[in-house]
Amino acid sequence: MTGKAQFVMDDEGHIQGYLRPDGRKGIRNVTLVIYLVECAHHVARAIVTKCDDPSVHLIGFPGCYPNSYAFQMLSRLATHPNVGGAVLLSLGCEGFDRAKLMEDIIASGRPAEKLVIQELGGTRATIEAGIAAVARVKARVETAPRAVMAVSELVVGTICGGSDGTSGITANPAVGRCFDQLIDAGATCIFEETGELIGCEQIMAERAITPQLGQEIEAAVAKAAAYYTILGYGSFAPGNADGGLSTQEEKSLGAYSKSGRSPISGLIKPGDIPPSSGLYLMDVVPDGEVRFGFPNISDNAEIVEMIASGCHLILFTTGRGSVVGSAISPVIKICANPETYDRMAEDMDVNAGRILRQQASLDAVGDEIFDWTRKVASGTQSASEAMGHQEFILTYKSFDAVGPACLPRANRV
């Protein structure tokens, strides 16, 4: 099997997805190799490298000390609709609950195997055992049944990285147009993050489907502002300033435009699965005191969190230029700046910079992103997939559960 999924769309736009035992449907059929501590990372990577198969992806958690957030993230990822099965790699003495993760994967109906390096006798023996384990799991993954999948069944996330002065007037609002189309079609869309939306809390609250949800959104943004104040550094990088952005608020307005115009149906945290279709804001800033440093140390950390909440694919906007992709779910790259696109076209999927050059309208680029979403969901590789990008990062965090006001539709009697 090659890395390119062999899907087709029928005349009505339906996708031939993969049906999972829990009833959800995926757009890819990935086998995961998961390391449960940094001490097992090298062995896990060697297994994936020797398998030499683009559909075998490497993910993991580097920490030795247990963390409920990290456990929930790996559990959600290992049972994601795009994932067919997994091989777990443990050193043997770390604090991660490997038995419970194994139980979660098996309970989801997916094949899984667990390897413990200390029990198998070290690096070389575990690599050999891991290659064989991947082959057994993958053989079962490839038998996954196909099922018709409509656009309404998609969960799509969006993130911006390497923003510049063009992002908020081209790529970001074009993604907003695409989001509106997806939501009109019955899909679920997730935008992020509260730390990059400081100053937009009131206008987001006005779009909330209940006043109580609006209050929760305002509180989440206030939490983010306080968190960054304590750290002494916000979500504003030197590259943003070099690219023409002048303030956090200016960057926030650009980031906000990715959300489109649809009502906001809920506020979720990483790993929360949206209970119904609609538009959701993801709060990625940890709860409680500042304990684990910056909320996300790179864009890929946020991508991983959205995937853990069920995103089949990610719309990634960039003005300065970014080359990252992700394990598990494809990343579609939308370039805001036409000069950046000219330099980095091979890494980009959509040239939203054509808007600046008056070669396309905002609505036309939004339509193009919508079409790309359907094509990638149907098996077309995005640029980052074709390049072999499968970045992954997971660190420590701590979250409280969302309250009933955050998910009004799920809590209606």
The pLDDT value given to residue 309: 98
Q: Which of 121, 147, 173 is the last residue of a domain?
A: 147
- In this structure, the answer to whether residues 63 and 158 fall within a common structural domain is no
Q: Are residues 126 and 174 in the same domain?
A: no
Q: Are 387 and 323 in contact (CB under 8 A)?
A: yes
For the chain, give the percent of residues with pLDDT over 90.
82
Do 187 and 275 lie in one domain? The reply is yes
Which stretches of 302-387 are assigned E, i.e. beta strand? 313-318, 331-335, 350-351
90 has pLDDT over 90: yes
CATH number, domain with residue 128:
3.40.50.2300
Mean pLDDT across 188-217: 94
Distance CA 3, CA 199 (A): 42
Same-domain check for residues 312 and 405: yes
Residue 39 located in a structural domain: yes
Q: Give the strand pairing for 25-26 and 15-19.
A: antiparallel
Domain with 48 in it: 15-147
Claim to verify: residue 246 and residue 357 sit in the same structural domain: yes
Weakest mean pLDDT among 6-15, 319-328, 338-347, 391-400: 6-15
Q: What is the number of structural domains in the chain?
A: 2
Q: Tell me the percentage of the chain whose pLDDT exceeds 70.
A: 92
Q: Is residue 313 part of a domain?
A: yes
Residue 5 included in any domain: no
**Same domain assignment for residues 179 and 134:** no
Q: What is the pLDDT of residues 308-357, one digit of tens each?
A: 999 999 999 999 999 999 999 999 999 999 999 999 999 999 999 999 99
User: Whole-model pTM?
Assistant: 0.93
165 pLDDT band (50/70/90 cuts)?
confident
- Which residue matches tokens 């609002």? 173
Residues 168-187: tens digit of each pLDDT: 999 999 999 999 999 999 99
Instruction: Tell whether 143 and 158 lie within a shared domain.
Output: no
Q: Is 8 part of a structural domain of the chain?
A: no
pLDDT class of 6 with cuts at 50, 70, 90: very low
Give the pLDDT score at 411: 75
Answer whether residue 242 is part of any domain: yes
- 401 in the same domain as 345: yes
Domain boundary among 147, 180, 195: 147
For 388, counting Cβ atoms within 10 Å of its Cβ (0-12 exposed, 13-18 middle, 19+ buried), the class is exposed
- Whether 4 maps to a domain, the answer reads no
Domain membership flag for residue 127: yes
Unique residue bearing structure tokens 């049906």 = 19
- Which domain-ending residue is among 147, 172, 207? 147
SS3 179: helix
Residue 398 and residue 363 share a domain? yes
Q: How far apart are CA 306 and CA 311, in angstroms?
A: 6
Q: Please report, in angstroms and rounded to a whole number, the separation of the first and last CA atoms in the chain.
A: 47
**Residues 124, 73 within the same domain:** yes
In this predicted structure, the answer to whether residue 362 has a pLDDT above a threshold of 50 is yes
